[in-house]
Amino acid sequence: MNNHSLAKLTNGRAVKLDAIPTLEFEGFKQAILDGTAAGQRVSAMFGDSTEQADITQLYVVMADDEQNRLCVGRTQIQGDKFSSLTPDCPQLHLFEREIAEQFGLKPIGHPWLKPVRYCHSKTNRDAWDRPANESILPAVGDFYQVEGDEVHEVAVGPVHAGIIEPGHFRFQCHGERVFHLEIALGFQHRGVEQAMIGEPTNRSIHYAETLAGDTTIAHTTGYCQAIEALAHCQKTARAQMLRGVALELERLANHVGDLGAISNDVGFLPTASYCGRIRGDFLNMTALLCGSRFGRGMIRPGGVGFDIDAHCAADLLCRLDKAEKDTANAVNLLWDTPSVMARLENTGILPQRVAVELGIVGPAARASGLVRDIRQDQPSGIFRFSHIPVSACDNGDAFGRAFVRWLEIQRSIKFIREQFAAIPAGSPLVEVGPLAPDSFTVTLNEGWRGEVCHTAITNKQGSFARYKIVDPSFHNWPALAYALRGQEISDFPLCNKSFNLSYCGHDL
Amino acid sequence: MVDKLIHILLLLTMPPLLLGIINKTKAWFAGRNGPPVLQAYYDIIKLMRKGMVISRTTTWVFIAGPIVTLATVLLAGMLMPISRFNAPISFAGDLILFAYLFGLARFFTTAAALDTGSPFEGMGAAREVTFACLSEPALFFTLLVLAKVSGSLTLNNMLHCPAGAFSVAMAAPLVLVSIGLFIVLLAETCRIPVDDPNTHLELTMIHEVMVLDHSGPLFGIILYSASMKLFILGAVLLHIISPFQTKTIWMNWPLFIMEMFGLAIVIGIVESVMARLRMRHIPYLLISALLFCGFGFILLVRYYQ
């Protein structure tokens, strides 16, 4: 039971495009099913157009966490339809909808074929046979409905009461109880993948930095690693260490902010307001490194844009000590307050079996007992040398997701301290050459929300022919919808915060 | 006459100050400076000067909601004696009117919410009346206990029963009803742990979600009458837990104001140290309030047999 027909890759290494086998569709399907049966998961599945208009290429990137490697394969689809894999492999659900939307291919047998981002396809086909000149409005269309006299429907968004991103949520409720939740996104679709195609320009790095504003470091690292892999560039140990520190600082700021937001949603003031401030302290540490609180300008192809000196490192460590103490004080209040625990425990449970089937990543997966962490499973950069233990918990509820964040906060702080104990010498930035032609690379990074996957394919001229980004939110939105089944509708904001997914990372 | 004027003056001007004190207490616990104590006044004045957006689907009920609420709460405030001074309006059996004025206010608030046709407001209205089924009997038992203790059906006599008339046997029932009444106070005025007055999440709110569509002066009236409700229920609770009076008669006014501030600080502390209850668990809390008050009444009836 293994998918030997796929090419084996390492995270952040480039191979010639020829090395990726083109399978018959049946073989491609079997390779994916065998892989998921053997415990692999789908990191990305995407289409790519070929020179012939009626042939579309499908790529799949499977992560084999046991063997610490990636399995990549492709197939060619002739015509405008293919047989859907979703009934056998639910984690492909959104990927197939995306392929249908972008390339006008109909996945026959897909149980819930709707657009993902409500945009026009790249080809002259349309999976829903809509006329080409018709404008497509987000979240317009049929939603899943539950029939019954006592069933009522609640629609929330895209404009929300708080200052958050736009998304539409459709609840089917029976009194206070939620039967079903359907989420419609796509309001923030900007076409980043399309803009990345061609020679990397001065703008490309800024697109990467703003893919999801709170995941700047992880996305930019993914993008830079892809360029470095394709250009066969060797970074210095110093640059890799600084990238690791920046990534963990991003995780710290967001996890602390999330814990504050979670306690705000349960109406517990002390932690909410202290965490809001401490998040700022961590953001300021990133600003100390590179001058931007969100890490803009820190990661650059070939290394990092800003070096660190002994004085800055000492200052950062001193701030870290203080922030660590403050965080412990604020966060431990949560676990010690019975009324808070009563709200968090058994709220929004995501069972492990479902997390596996939906291919959930990041803290949400680890809270459901899946030991899944790119820093351990597919390490790149500094994480090959310096390990961070995986923080997991098997509750699968809002408490689990909050507690995993707290564990990760403590371990990230320890990691940064270890790195600063021995800062390697070397230049922070090295020259990056031209990209290798006809090549393929996948980079995975553990952002604070989970796996950030960037896949790049170059053409004969050595510029990007296809650039595919998978934000962890793309994997995890269905988990939120699932976790809300049978819950009370008034617990939705809390469940939502415990996942805290990105809208723009999903919409791209 | 002067006392009646002071009563009306306090009733009209003091309530928003309580919100300011609660928020200052909460801010202190959270390590912030918090908004100015007078912020609620600024908010109400600001709202009064704004325009209104009224949905075309609504009818006169939508506008009547806040106005009737303010009128009923004002009238309830006139029926309720403050400290040792008599209420401006008083008659035998006024406790029934007092209790049902709140009921009338609730009816009009929920009717105005349903009038908008929004699913959120319908949800809020459903929650409000469900929880009222439990808090209303608790309030009634409290009034019954007071009526039994004082032997009168007039709020004036019920609420300031002379200290000498108390016997030890009344202590336990009165302690029980004050606990119950405090929970009812938190529930009726939408405070944590029942409702979160600061939340902006339309799916979790109870009272706030019912008034989502009200804007401008109508919303100002809602804020004002909500704070007045807090003031009135707080004053009733103070009668029970703190029947102290000074010899100098006029000194009772400042004493009352101080006690009211103390109560606001206690509410602020409760809101700061605990999280909001899960919606499913709120009835448990209200049932416990009902049991406290009901049990207090049973104890008292047993004693008089």
| A365-403 pLDDT, tens digit each | 999 999 999 999 999 989 999 889 999 998 899 999 999
pLDDT for B166 equals 66
pLDDT for B164 equals 58
- The position carrying tokens 């074929």 is A113
**CA–CA min distance A5, chain B (Å):** 49
- The position carrying tokens 């844009």 is A305
A170 contact residues in B (CB cutoff 8 A): none
CB contact under 8 A, B29 and A269: yes
**What domains lie within chain A, and their CATH numbers?**
7-108 (3.30.460.80), 200-459 (1.10.645.10)
What does the pLDDT look like over A104-149, one tens digit per residue?
Answer: 889 999 998 899 998 888 888 888 888 888 888 888 888 888 888 8
What tokens appear for B17 in the block?
């100050």
CB contact under 8 A, A273 and B31: yes
pLDDT for A133 equals 83
To probe the interface with A, which of B207, B276, B284 has the most A CB atoms within 10 Å?
Answer: B276
Q: Residues 177 to 196 of B: which have CB under 8 A from any A CB?
A: 192-193, 196
Mean pLDDT of chain A: 90
Strands A81-83 and A69-78: unpaired
Q: Does A493 touch chain B (CB under 8 A)?
A: yes
In sequence order, which residues have a C-beta less than 8 Å from that of residue A14 and are 6 or more positions away?
A: A229, A230, A232, A436, A439, A440, A441
Q: Does A486 touch chain B (CB under 8 A)?
A: no
Which chain B residue shows the shortest CA-CA distance from A152? B119
**CA–CA min distance B68, chain A (Å):** 27
**CA–CA min distance B39, chain A (Å):** 19
B272 contact residues in A (CB cutoff 8 A): 269-270
Q: Does A377 touch chain B (CB under 8 A)?
A: no
In sequence order, which residues have a C-beta less than 8 Å from that of residue A402 and are 6 or more positions away?
A: A258, A259, A262, A334, A344, A498
CB contact under 8 A, B201 and A161: yes
The residue type at A254: N
B198 contact residues in A (CB cutoff 8 A): 267
Report the DSSP beta bridge partners of residue A22: A74
3-state SS, one letter per residue, for chain B: CHHHHHHHHHHHHCHHHHHHHHHHHHHHHCCCCCCCCCHHHHHHHHHHCCCCCCCCCCCHHHHHHHHHHHHHHHHHHHHCCECCECCCCCCCCHHHHHHHHHHHHHHHHHHHHHHCCCHHHHHHHHHHHHHHHHHHHHHHHHHHHHHHHHCCCCHHHHHCCCHHHCCHHHHHHHHHHHHHHHHHHHHHCCCCCCCCCCCCCCCCCCHHHHCCCCCHHHHHHHHHHHHHHHHHHHHHHHHHHCCCCCCCHHHHHHHHHHHHHHHHHHHHHHHHHCCCCCHHHHHHHHHHHHHHHHHHHHHHHHHHC
Q: Does B200 touch chain A (CB under 8 A)?
A: yes
Buried-exposed string B246-269: b where 16+ CB fall within 10 A, e elsewhere: eeeeeebbebbeebbeebbbebbe
What tokens appear for A97 in the block?
């909808």
To probe the interface with A, which of B24, B118, B203 has the most A CB atoms within 10 Å?
Answer: B203
CB contact under 8 A, B30 and A269: yes
Distances (CA, A) of A19 to A89, A344, A441: 26, 49, 11
Angle at A94 between CA A91 and CA A98, to 5 degrees: 140
Q: Does B24 touch chain A (CB under 8 A)?
A: no
What does the pLDDT look like over A325-344, one tens digit per residue?
Answer: 999 999 999 999 998 999 99
Q: Does A156 touch chain B (CB under 8 A)?
A: yes
pLDDT for B241 equals 87
Q: Is the pLDDT of residue B293 over 90?
A: yes
Mean pLDDT, residues B187-213 taken together: 84
C-alpha B153, offset from chain centre? 21
CB contact under 8 A, A337 and B31: no
pLDDT band at A448 (very low <50, low <70, confident <90, very high): very high
pLDDT for B163 equals 56
Q: Does A347 touch chain B (CB under 8 A)?
A: yes
pTM (2 d.p.):
0.90
pLDDT for B194 equals 86
Q: Is the pLDDT of residue B138 over 80?
A: yes
CB contact under 8 A, B26 and A269: yes
In sequence order, which residues have a C-beta less than 8 Å from that of residue A419 and are 6 or more positions away?
A: A241, A244, A245, A382, A386
CB contact under 8 A, B201 and A176: no
CB contact under 8 A, B203 and A267: no
Report the DSSP beta bridge partners of residue A439: A16
The residue type at B74: L
Q: Before B193, cis peptide (omega within 30)?
A: yes
CB contact under 8 A, A267 and B119: no
Backbone angles phi, psi at A452, to 5 degrees: -105, 115
**Cα(A77)–Cα(B178) distance, rounded to whole angstroms?**
75
Mean pLDDT, residues A258-285 taken together: 91
Burial of A51 (0-12, 13-18, 19+ CB in 10 A): exposed
Which chain B residue shows the shortest CA-CA distance from A271? B30
Q: Is the pLDDT of residue B148 over 90?
A: no
What does the pLDDT look like over B37-82, one tens digit per residue?
Answer: 999 999 999 999 999 999 898 999 999 999 999 999 999 999 999 8
- For chain B, give every domain's residue range: 2-304
Q: Residues 181 to 240 of A: which have CB under 8 A from any B CB?
A: none
To probe the interface with B, which of A490, A491, A496, A497 has the most B CB atoms within 10 Å?
Answer: A490
pLDDT for A360 equals 93
Q: Does B31 touch chain A (CB under 8 A)?
A: yes
Report the DSSP beta bridge partners of residue B213: none
**What percentage of chain B has pLDDT greater than the value 70?**
98
Q: Is A174 helix (H, G, I), strand (E, B) or coil?
A: strand
**CA–CA min distance B49, chain A (Å):** 23
pLDDT band at A275 (very low <50, low <70, confident <90, very high): very high
Q: Does A343 touch chain B (CB under 8 A)?
A: yes
Nearest to A232 by CA among A431, A481, A7: A431
Residue among A154, A270, A493 whose CB faces B30 most closely: A270
pLDDT band at B162 (very low <50, low <70, confident <90, very high): low
Which chain B residue shows the shortest CA-CA distance from A341? B275
Q: In this structure, what DSSP letter does residue A169 have?
A: E
Residue among A156, A175, A268 whose CB faces B202 most closely: A156
**CA–CA min distance A347, chain B (Å):** 10
**Cα(A210)–Cα(A217) distance, rounded to whole angstroms?**
10
CB contact under 8 A, A269 and B272: yes
The DSSP element (H or E) to which A184 belongs, if any, is: strand A177-184
The residue type at A483: A
Q: Give me the helices (H) in A86-231, please.
A: 93-103, 192-196, 204-209, 216-231
Which chain B residue shows the shortest CA-CA distance from A330? B30
Q: In this structure, what DSSP letter does residue A233 have?
A: P
pLDDT band at B226 (very low <50, low <70, confident <90, very high): very high
Q: Is A186 helix (H, G, I), strand (E, B) or coil?
A: coil
HSE (side-chain half, CA atoms, 13 Å) at B2: 3
CB contact under 8 A, B123 and A263: no
pLDDT for A1 equals 44
The residue type at A452: V
User: For the ranges A23-32, A356-365, B239-248, which has the lowest average pLDDT?
Assistant: B239-248
Q: Does A497 touch chain B (CB under 8 A)?
A: no
Angle at A239 between CA A238 and CA A243, to 5 degrees: 120
**CA–CA min distance B283, chain A (Å):** 14
